[in-house]
């Protein structure tokens, strides 16, 4: 399924150097923007390493069964993008679901297991969401998400999210980004058509770090939803999960809005700490 519309936010001549905007909500980065993008991601990954996080390199797609167990297809079918091989596939082949959120690749790996300790993972994925419109770096069909995911007891997950909240807030300040934390109501749910119990189970607590009203990171507590869906246990009880997600293109957007287009004025990206 391809995106449904494209609404440009800037004339191509006004885009910063190193950003090329394409139809269907995709961007090409080069030069100083690409270098900053990679250094931001490296800083997050380096912090995840201090948590003894298991690094993962996920595939581009999820099997439909996995996406369904996550609750994505029943909750957000209008945002899903499907793919299948051009050759060697039949008309009744559903293909696979292009990754909508990086953390969805973590839970199937732990399915049916009883964890002896809290489990932390980090991964970077190109994610796809079919939106009504697209804006460069802000709202894209294809965008990059770096996540740090914790699977453990309620206490372990809550402590993980609390620690990351403080760490990311300090990182944001040191980069000179004027951010604020907001309790979020998830825009992927239509209150008129989505059961309230599912919204609460998937997103009982979601806090966003916003810069100029655009969320650049989110702190998500899933309670036991994924533990139940994938039969993951921690010390013989259903595991809780939580994740911190960084939208890397949106961090670039925040950089440009707060510091301008001249790379000489950008603060040096540092390790998240």
Q: What pLDDT sits at residue 216?
A: 97
Q: What pLDDT sits at residue 140?
A: 95
Q: What pLDDT sits at residue 44?
A: 97
CA-CA distance, 97 to 80, in Å (whole number)? Answer: 7
Q: What pLDDT sits at residue 271?
A: 83
Q: What pLDDT sits at residue 90?
A: 66
Where in the chain are the domains?
16-265
Beta carbons within 10 angstroms of residue 209's beta carbon? 26
Q: What pLDDT sits at residue 185?
A: 62
CA-CA distance, 186 to 206, in Å (whole number)? Answer: 8
Question: Class of 16-265 per CATH?
Answer: alpha beta
Following DSSP, what letter does each residue of the chain receive, concatenated?
Answer: ---S----SS-GGGSPTTEEEETTTEEEE-HHHHHHHHHHHHHHHHHHHHTTPEEE---SEE-HHHHHHHTHHHH-GGG--EE--SSS--TT---EEEPS-GGGGTGGGGTT-EESS-EEEEEEEEEE---S--BTTTB-SEEEEEEEEEEE-HHHHHHHHHHHHHHHHHHHHHTT--EEEEE---TT--TTTS-HHHHHHH-SEEEEEEETTEEEEEEEEEETHHHHHTT-EETTEEPEEEEEEEEHHHHHHHHHHHH-S-GGGSPPP----
Going across the sheet that includes 82-83, the strands are 61-62, 96-98, 82-83
Q: What pLDDT sits at residue 89?
A: 64
Cβ proximity of 40 and 248 under 8 Å = yes
Q: What pLDDT sits at residue 84?
A: 83
CA-CA distance, 126 to 39, in Å (whole number)? Answer: 17
Q: What pLDDT sits at residue 78?
A: 83
- 10-residue mean pLDDT profile of the chain (273 residues): values are 50 82 94 97 97 97 93 84 77 84 97 97 97 92 98 98 97 94 64 47 74 95 94 96 98 94 92 83
Q: What pLDDT sits at residue 187?
A: 41
Cβ proximity of 169 and 209 under 8 Å = yes
């Amino acid at each position: 399924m391809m995106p449904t519309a494209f609404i440009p936010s800037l004339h191509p001549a006004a885009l910063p150097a190193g950003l090329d905007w394409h139809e269907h909500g995709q961007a090409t980065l080069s030069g100083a923007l690409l270098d900053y993008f990679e250094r931001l991601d490296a800083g997050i990954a380096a912090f995840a390493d201090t948590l003894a996080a298991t690094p993962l390199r996920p595939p581009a797609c999820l099997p439909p069964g996995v996406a369904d167990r996550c609750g994505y297809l029943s909750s957000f079918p209008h945002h899903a993008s499907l793919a299948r091989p051009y050759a060697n596939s039949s008309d009744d082949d559903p293909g696979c679901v292009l990754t909508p959120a990086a953390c969805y690749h973590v839970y199937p790996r732990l399915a049916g297991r009883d964890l002896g300790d809290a489990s932390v993972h980090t991964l970077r994925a190109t994610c796809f969401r079919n939106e009504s419109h697209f804006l460069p770096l802000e709202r894209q069909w294809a965008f990059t998400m770096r996540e740090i995911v914790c699977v453990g007891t309620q206490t372990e997950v809550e402590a993980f999210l609390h620690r990351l909240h403080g760490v990311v807030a300090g990182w944001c300040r040191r980069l000179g980004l004027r951010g604020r934390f907001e309790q979020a109501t998830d825009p992927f749910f239509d209150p008129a058509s989505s059961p309230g119990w599912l919204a609460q189970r998937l997103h009982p607590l979601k806090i966003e770090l916003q810069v100029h009203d655009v969320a650049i990171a989110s702190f998500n507590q899933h309670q036991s939803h994924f533990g139940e869906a994938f039969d993951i246990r921690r010390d013989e009880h259903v595991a809780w999960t939580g994740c911190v997600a960084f939208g890397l293109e949106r961090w670039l957007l925040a950089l440009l809005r707060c510091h301008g287009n001249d790379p000489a004025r950008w603060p040096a990206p540092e390790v998240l700490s």
